[in-house]
Homo-oligomer: A and B are copies of this chain.
Amino acid sequence: MTERIHHFLETRRPEGPCLVVDLDVVRANYQAFATCLPDARVFYAIKANPAPEILSLLAGLGSCFDAASVPEIEMALAAGATPDRISYGNTIKKEADIARAYQMGITLFAFDAREELEKIARVAPGARVFCRILFDCEGAEWPLSRKFGCEPEMAVELMVYAHALGLRAYGISFHVGSQQSDVGSYDRALEHVAEIFQALSEKGIDLSMVNMGGGFPARYLRDIPDVDSYARAISDALHRHFRNRMPETIIEPGRGMVGNAGILQAEVVLISRKSSRPDELRWVYLDIGKFGGLAETMGEAIRYPIHTPRDGAELAPCVLAGPTCDSADVLYEHTPYPLPVSLEIGDKVLIGSAGAYTTTYSAVAFNGFPPLQAFYI
């Protein structure tokens, strides 16, 4: 909670649930990445929060952008980024969208499959391509599925094929998993990547770039290593595995750039019990839930810090739920959330580290509730 957000909420008193993002925190986060990893180019993962205010700020600071779709490319361009600073980082693209991106000047594309390379070769001739590899995400709070990436051996074959198709075999990307707190995971991933570089070099193909993806954590309830610890681990691992042939490097922070910059204000709509048994847990219902922006509570994956006006009072575990008529709209039930026993209907609560993956996950109008409103200050 920053002083600026506190002041905004006190003076503006917005109606209904809302996210407030402090752009000074985003700026400080960008500068921390740029300072700690001076040799890496920062490609902000737009999907984490595509607010024009954030994109313009980052474009002005010199950031590059990782776009997941044509509309995200258009947003980055509108914010002032030139096409050479934008990567089309989604491995799943329609051929028509690749063509549109190429027409807008984008020349850097992600892929993880032969079929995707063929699309790129057809409509974006000569483009630079990087191959996403699968990586075991041990240590991540939210390990990724096998949805993105291919096995490293396949990456070598695909890069040879890219070269044959007239594309520029440019680099390798990996992702250590969201909320990765094991800084050593970069070392393990970079060892695989260096092997791919070596194997391709022996075939006469010299890759240029390593894209280390995102995964830099935001602080929710648990302490996390700071950017500096990641930076040192990454720098050490790069030197260990690439020695005097250091590649160009890219990082794609999303959550790590904007997560801790946002506070979500919500209201307690109802507090009740299901029976008069003394062991019955309280149910606390907020005016925001899984379909209003807190989708990342899915499987209780992300556990947000929650502050109430009664902090300091005695705590008791609660089931926490959203306001919709959907029975799946429950935030924390498996592991109940401790909240003050004196909490009351109408109290405003502050949900911390809510700057990433909230506004855009919000449903258009589920149960008639409007999408999450947001303020960027």
Which residues of A line the B interface, CB within 8 A? 45-47, 50, 67-72, 75, 89-95, 112-116, 119, 134, 142, 144-151, 153-154, 157, 178, 267, 269-276, 283, 285, 287, 291, 295, 298, 319, 321, 323-330, 333, 345-346, 359-371
Contact = CB atoms under 8 A, between A and B. Distances in A.
A99 to B, nearest CB: 14
A298 B269 CA distance: 26
Contact of A69 (B116, B346, B367): B367
Q: How many copies of this chain are found per oligomer? A: 2
Contacts of A114: 272
Nearest to A71: B368
A323 B69 CA distance: 9
A71 B134 CA distance: 45
Given A363-B363, A366-B361, A274 B134 contact: yes
Contacts of A364: 359-360, 362-364, 371
Given A92-B285, A150-B275, A325-B90, A368 B69 contact: yes
Nearest to A66: B325
Contact of A369 (B71, B134, B153, B345): B71
A287 B330 CA distance: 28
Given A273-B113, A325-B90, A365 B370 contact: no
Give the 3 A-B residue pairs with the shortest CB-CB distance, closest first: A113-B272, A71-B368, A72-B368
A272 B150 CA distance: 9
B272 A116 contact: yes
Contacts of A287: 94
Contact of A71 (B333, B362, B370): B370
A69 B369 contact: yes
9 contacts: A47-B324, A50-B368, A89-B325, A92-B323, A93-B269, A150-B274, A151-B274, A151-B276, A153-B275
A89 B326 CA distance: 12
Given A92-B285, A298-B298, A145 B365 contact: no
A41 B323 CA distance: 26
A70 B368 contact: yes
Nearest to A360: B366
B363 A361 contact: yes
A370 B71 CA distance: 9
Contacts of A272: 112-116, 150
A270 B97 CA distance: 13
Contact of A147 (B116, B271, B330): B330
A339 to B, nearest CB: 15
A275 B113 contact: no
A355 to B, nearest CB: 16
Contact of A47 (B50, B360, B368): B368
A153 to B, nearest CB: 7
A341 to B, nearest CB: 15
Contacts of A47: 324-326, 366-368
